[in-house]
Amino acid sequence: MNVLIIGSGGREYSIGLALKKDDNVQKIYFAPGNGATDVLGENLAISNFNDLADFVEANQIELTIVGPEAPLVEGIVDVFKERGLTIFGPTSKAAQLEGSKIFMKNFLARHNVPTAKYIETDSLEDAYSFINTLEAPIVVKADGLCGGKGVIIAQSHDEAKKAAGEMLSGNSFGEAGTSIVVEEFLDGYELSVFAICDGKNYVVLPAAQDHKRLLNNDEGPNTGGMGAYAPTPLVNDDIYRKLNERVIEPTLKGMESEGMPFTGVLFIGVMVVKGEPIILEYNVRFGDPECEELMPLLKSPASELFYKAATGDLKSAKIEFHDKYAVGVVMASKDYPYKSTPAAEIIVDDIHHDELEGNAHISYAGVSRGEDGKLYAIGGRVLVCVGLGESIKEAQKRAYMLVGQVHFAGKQCRTDIAYQAL
């Protein structure tokens, strides 16, 4: 089949890489793709949803996979479904699980899914009173999509009140912050759990752990993610069972009963507190960089997983994973996450290592191809070096061997990805 992937990041590159290895897939298109996806398929400069659907019809594309949240929230799936096209991802209504933190928190409460104690409000007075009932640290969140930046962990009551005031006045996040969630701080360790859903049935992928802070030892500012690994030994059968029974199943049933069955990736941000999984948030797409580690662990054909989920047929799929570990190290531009960085040529050493053969690769993200045919880092998270191995240690070693072969001016990366597992 021919497949279209919507998005331009390392996440979409890694989905493309998995489809490239899949004998069922002929041609891959990316809209818009990045400076390296043109090696895996063809980049399309089309963004309007109806124009994309026209292209899909004209080019016999049997499956469209949506990477990022924005087109989902904006209704790309609704447009494609209306036209009878097969697309993997939730409708705009179902995407509210990520698009609105208030919708998500109220949904979790309605269906008894464990989450932090909270209030949602647009009143500063109510926010202040609730803040007074909590112990610091206190978490204040803007309602809408803020590119992962709308969460403040306030270390004192005063700081929490200040954050709430700035959000509600529209000063910090504009419209996205005109309503807020204030919630208790959960003290535990964080997991990224992904369930591929077809509306009723689901497949849980190996649990991952992301490293959101810029610097080693989880210091420095929050980022989109500086590296991840999977499967993490911090999860066991008991936690998986609780996630299935208390979280995923009530969520799928609840979404169906509320008239918006959930198809796509349910990305569950979990805090494990004293052995109990508590939900921090939902996203309705793969994590980036988690996807870059999960795709290479998939043993079954990627097209089968996505196509069967998109067509409500996951029950008939037997999805298998390699019995291996994957570690991904993000290499970012000099000024990430503060500001953009001028373009810098990327050079990958042309050195052959037997050990890396088939056990390490690059997923490209913030890159463009120059007129000279060379690849340039264009800011943000530039690429992810992924290592695979029989142990986390081995996968980590291979990922960092590959990091050592990649050069561009101002490159930065953490040197401790997967440390919590070692």
Choose the binding region for ligand AMP from 6-14, 57-65, 181-189, 371-379 (rule: CB under 6 A).
181-189
Which part of the chain contacts ligand AMP (CB under 6 A), choosing from 16-24, 183-191, 233-241, 317-325? 183-191
Closest residue by beta carbon to ligand GLY: 225
Q: State yes or no: residue 22 binds ligand GLY (CB under 6 A).
A: no
**Closest C-alpha among 188, 183, 180, 118 to residue 153:** 183
Q: Determine the residue type at 90.
A: P
Q: Is the peptide bond before 261 cis (omega within 30 degrees of 0)?
A: no
Q: Build a one-symbol-per-residue string for 247-286: x at contacts with ligand GLY by CB under 6 A, - elsewhere.
A: ------------------------------------x---
From the list 76, 140, 186, 375, which residue makes contact with ligand AMP (rule: CB under 6 A)?
Answer: 186
CA angle, residues 207, 418, 414, in degrees to nearest 5: 130
Residues numbered 188 to 217 that lie near ligand AMP (CB under 6 A) are 190, 212
**Cα separation of 239 and 244, whole Å?**
9
DSSP readout, 317-336?
A: ----B-S-EEEEEEEE-TTT
Least separation in angstroms between residue 101's CB and ligand AMP is 7
Contacts of 39 (CB under 8 A, 6+ apart): none
> In which residue are the tokens 């697309």 written?
87
Are the C-beta atoms of 43 and 33 separated by less than 8 Å? Answer: yes
**By C-beta, is 148 or 312 nearer to ligand AMP?**
148
When computed from its CA atoms, the radius of gyration of the chain, rounded to whole angstroms, is: 21
Does residue 69 bind ligand GLY (CB under 6 A)? no
Minimal distance, residue 182 CB to ligand AMP, in Å: 10
Here's the x/- map for ligand GLY, 142-171, by CB under 6 A: it reads as ------x-----------------------
Of residues 288, 292, 293, 304, which one binds ligand GLY by CB under 6 A? 288
The yes or no reply on residue 160 touching ligand AMP (CB under 6 A) is: no
Binding of ligand AMP by 234 (CB under 6 A): no
Least Cβ distance, residue 107 to ligand AMP (angstroms): 14
Asked if 15 touches ligand AMP (CB under 6 A), the answer is: no
Nearer to ligand AMP, 40 or 272 (CB): 272
41 binds ligand GLY (CB under 6 A): no
Q: Which is nearer to ligand AMP, 4 or 272 (CB)?
A: 272
Give the HSE-up count for residue 281: Cα atoms under 13 Å, Cβ half-sphere: 22
Q: In the set 287, 296, 379, 380, which binds ligand GLY (CB under 6 A)?
A: 287
What count of other Cβ atoms lies within 10 Å of the Cβ of residue 191? Answer: 22
In DSSP notation, 334-403 reads TTTTTS----EE-EE-----TTTTTTEEEEE-SEEE-TTS-EEE-SSEEEEEEEEESSHHHHHHHHHHHH
State which of positions 246-285 bind ligand AMP (CB under 6 A).
269, 280-281
CB under 5 to 8 A by kind: which of ligand GLY, ligand AMP, none does 120 bind? none
Interaction of residue 290 with ligand GLY, rule CB under 6 A:
yes
Write out the two tokens for 363: 């997923």
Q: Is 151 in the site for ligand AMP (CB under 6 A)?
A: yes
* Region label for 410, one of left (φ > 0), alpha (ψ between -120 and 50) or beta (otherwise): left
Q: Does 292 bind ligand GLY (CB under 6 A)?
A: no
Please state the closest distance from residue 190 (CB atom) to ligand AMP, in A: 6
Please say whether the beta carbons of 380 and 332 come within 8 A. Answer: yes
Residue 140, number of CB atoms within 10 A of its CB? 27
Nearest Cα to Cα of residue 263 among 214, 209, 202: 202
- The reply on whether position 69 binds ligand AMP by CB under 6 A is no
The 3-state DSSP class for residue 337 equals: coil
Residue 235: strand, helix, or coil = coil
Which of ligand AMP, ligand GLY, none sits in contact with 290, Cβ below 5 to 8 A by type?
Answer: ligand GLY
Q: Quick check: 366 and 381 in contact, CB under 8 A?
A: yes
Catalog residues that contact ligand GLY under the rule CB under 6 A: 148, 210, 224-225, 283, 287-288, 290
